Amino acid sequence: MRKFDIIRKKILSQEKGTIRKSSYQLRVALGYPNRYEVGIANLGFQSIYKILNQMERVSCERFFLFDYKLPDKVRALESGDPLNFFQLVSFSVPFELDYLNILKMLKQAKVPLLRKERDENHPFLIAGGVAVTLNPEVLSPFFDLIFIGEGEEGIKDIAEIFLEASGKGYSRKKLFMELSRVKGVYLPEFYEPVYDEKGLLREYKIEKGFPYKIEKRIANLEKIETYSSIVTPLSHFKNMFIVETGRGCTWRCRFCAAGHIYKPFRFHKKEKIISEIEKYCGGTKSVGLLGSLVSDLPFLEEVCFELYQKGYGIGISSLRVDKVTPNLLDILIESGLKTLTLAPEAGTERMWKIIDKRIKREDVLNAVRRAKEKNLEKLKLYFIIGLPSEKKKDIEGIVDLIKKIHKIFIENVGTALVAVRREVILSINPFVPKAHTPFQWAPMDSEKSLKNKLKIISDGIRGLKGIKFERKSVKEAVLQGILSQGDRNVGMGLYYSVKENLPLSQAFRKAGVDTGFLAFEEKPKEYVFPWEMVEAGEKRL
């Protein structure tokens, strides 16, 4: 027995909710370009897996990037079959830094990387998810179809077309014409980029019959159920049943993509959330509430209280600092909450105004006071450095805010009813401009400046007991900036890196990519972004 078979059977034996189908007409391999424990915790990935398998004539299996060195590791988890055994191979892509993993996985699976190198004997490749919805162009050389927007309803439309095509013997052109009529479908083959003499994108030459703009697909949340159909102790969220509470964000901070690509803000009804948990949780008593704006649900306390009364432990994503109420904290702590996660993002009123965060310093400190009064053990704080218009005093403002938080949460333990060993976890992240946000024209801060700002913060909090400083890689952030802003040439740089085993810097040069311009220069007002074909955007401030 192959080592991969031993490992996959061990994984499957610990899953609850795995789907296996013996009868099907269309076979789909759904991939997540990262480790199993990360991918299985992704709700979008799980939703597509469930939806495809609910279709009578469709079978969907999963594959992941495994850490161990095996020659046959890129195979379907359910059957162990290689990717070339499937008609459709689809990737769920939430993060740009996973792009390289996609190419490595295809190479290991012996699937030709470039779209133009494949024919009818190879799988049809599809990509979907947040990263490619923001900017589909970096992966355009590799994928036959890129889905723009929320895929729960769109993936069913796509599968139905493939089922019909196999029954009626569609030509390749007929298949593409039918797919192009599905809202959210982008077919890169028919959109040719045209560059000016400086190498900057000027426009797209679009083949006749294909849409000038790709309209983002927005799912009707009343018609879909979004929950984790598979629960496993191997997940990043160990044995936790995750349910979606809503999509989008009404606050729409200027740096954040979630509030801009998932508009309008929608939330699931209270009764629906409770019903899905009770109907599908499969006996687990650990429930995670997921959403970009969980803390703004008008019935959040009611949902949490009802779940607590039913004996569920509750996990929740970060809360807005001005939404941390004593009653909500009581319920969450009683249900097992150990760490309160907050995202101040900045440390001064000036920067909060620039990013349109709409909070005040006292809101942050009040949330910390409530966490201390309720004897929480840990506090996790997210900050961003390198934001547009940021000055040294704004970085010093972050240090000052951390010191104030430390004094309240850790130094004043004696005022608490029960002494606990407390910890403040700091996550400091470099700003990366995202497509379709008001900051998409903004440059990243230089590597030298970002490292200096990290040093100011590190030096400023040195000596404070109980602080854990999670440093983020500046080089990775810069790469993410290049991938976030990149076009097909950036994709070809990734191709050269994987195909010829070149360092990324050398591969980008070979592809003619000006990484300095993409990452560190402000884009002019008339600049044509690579995601020009996506029907969404922001007016320059």
Taking only the tens place, the pLDDT of each residue in 97-129 is 999 999 999 999 999 999 999 998 999 999 999
pLDDT class of 90 with cuts at 50, 70, 90: very high
Separation between Cα atoms, residue 339 and residue 422, nearest integer Å: 10
pLDDT of residue 248: 86
pLDDT class of 417 with cuts at 50, 70, 90: very low
Range with the poorest average pLDDT among 69-73, 220-224, 476-480: 69-73
pLDDT class of 420 with cuts at 50, 70, 90: low
Range of the domain at 62: 3-215
Residue 408 has pLDDT above 60, yes or no: yes
Residues 390 and 413 in one domain: yes
Residue 512 has pLDDT above 70, yes or no: yes
Structural domain contains residue 330: yes
Residues 260 and 293 in one domain: yes
User: How large a percentage of the chain has pLDDT more than 90?
Assistant: 85
Higher pLDDT, 318 or 280: 280
Closest CA to 240 of 180, 194, 283, 176: 283
Structural domain contains residue 531: no
Residues 384 and 415 in one domain: yes
pLDDT of residue 241: 96
Residues 311 and 441 in one domain: yes
29-61: pLDDT as tens digits: 999 999 999 999 999 999 999 999 999 999 999
Distances (CA, A) of 321 to 343, 367, 374, 410: 7, 6, 15, 18
pLDDT of residue 249: 86
Q: Which of 215, 239, 271 is the last residue of a domain?
A: 215
pLDDT of residue 526: 87
472-481: pLDDT as tens digits: 899 999 999 9
pLDDT class of 416 with cuts at 50, 70, 90: very low
Residue 67 has pLDDT above 80, yes or no: no
Average pLDDT over residues 500-521: 97
Separation between Cα atoms, residue 239 and residue 244, nearest integer Å: 16
Q: Are the C-beta atoms of residues 312 and 277 closer than 8 Å to each other?
A: yes
Average pLDDT, the chain: 93
305-323: pLDDT as tens digits: 999 999 999 999 889 999 9
Residues 190 and 241 in one domain: no
pLDDT class of 1 with cuts at 50, 70, 90: low
pLDDT class of 421 with cuts at 50, 70, 90: confident
Q: Which of 180, 215, 250 is the last residue of a domain?
A: 215
User: How large a percentage of the chain has pLDDT more than 70?
Assistant: 96
Within 10 Å of residue 144's Cβ, how many Cβ atoms?
21
Cα torsion 245, 251, 253, 254: sign: positive
pLDDT of residue 322: 92
Residues 190 and 238 in one domain: no
Please provide the distance, in angstroms rounded to a whole number, between the alpha carbons at the two ends of the chain.
Answer: 60
Higher pLDDT, 229 or 265: 229
pLDDT of residue 25: 97
pLDDT of residue 69: 63
Residue 233 has pLDDT above 70, yes or no: yes
Separation between Cα atoms, residue 523 and residue 541, nearest integer Å: 13
Residue 330 has pLDDT above 70, yes or no: yes
Average pLDDT over residues 419-445: 92
Residues 44 and 151 in one domain: yes
Cα torsion 125, 128, 133, 138: sign: negative
Residues 392 and 332 in one domain: yes
Structural domain contains residue 106: yes
438-495: pLDDT as tens digits: 999 999 999 999 999 999 999 999 999 999 998 889 999 999 999 999 999 999 999 9
Higher pLDDT, 538 or 33: 33
pLDDT class of 340 with cuts at 50, 70, 90: very high
pLDDT of residue 474: 97
Structural domain contains residue 101: yes
SS (H, E, C) 267-315: ECCHHHHHHHHHHHCCCCCEEEEECCCHHHCCCHHHHHHHHHHCCCEEE
Choose from 242-256, 283-297, 314-328, 479-493 the range with maximum mean pLDDT.
479-493
Q: Which of 465, 482, 512 is the last residue of a domain?
A: 465
Closest CA to 454 of 524, 412, 509, 395: 395
pLDDT class of 85 with cuts at 50, 70, 90: very high
Bridge-partner residues for 341, per DSSP?
A: 380
Average pLDDT over residues 367-380: 94
pLDDT class of 263 with cuts at 50, 70, 90: confident
Residue 503 has pLDDT above 60, yes or no: yes
Structural domain contains residue 342: yes
Q: Residue 308 belongs to a domain with what CATH number?
A: 3.80.30.20
Q: Residue 136 belongs to a domain with what CATH number?
A: 3.40.50.720
Residue 167 has pLDDT above 80, yes or no: yes
Residues 47 and 21 in one domain: yes
Q: For residue 465, with 0-12 CB atoms within 10 Å meaning exposed, 13-18 middle and 19 or more buried, which class applies?
A: exposed
Average pLDDT over residues 433-438: 94
Average pLDDT over residues 142-158: 97
Average pLDDT over residues 235-256: 92
Residues 365 and 461 in one domain: yes
Residue 256 has pLDDT above 60, yes or no: yes
Residue 194 has pLDDT above 90, yes or no: yes
Domains in the chain: how many in total?
A: 2
Structural domain contains residue 269: yes
Residues 227 and 201 in one domain: no
Average pLDDT over residues 508-532: 95
Residues 145 and 22 in one domain: yes
- Token readout for 50 is 């469930």
pLDDT of residue 318: 85
Longest Cα–Cα distance of the chain, Å, equals 76
Residue 68 has pLDDT above 80, yes or no: no
Structural domain contains residue 488: no
pLDDT class of 198 with cuts at 50, 70, 90: confident
Residue 189 has pLDDT above 60, yes or no: yes
Structural domain contains residue 277: yes
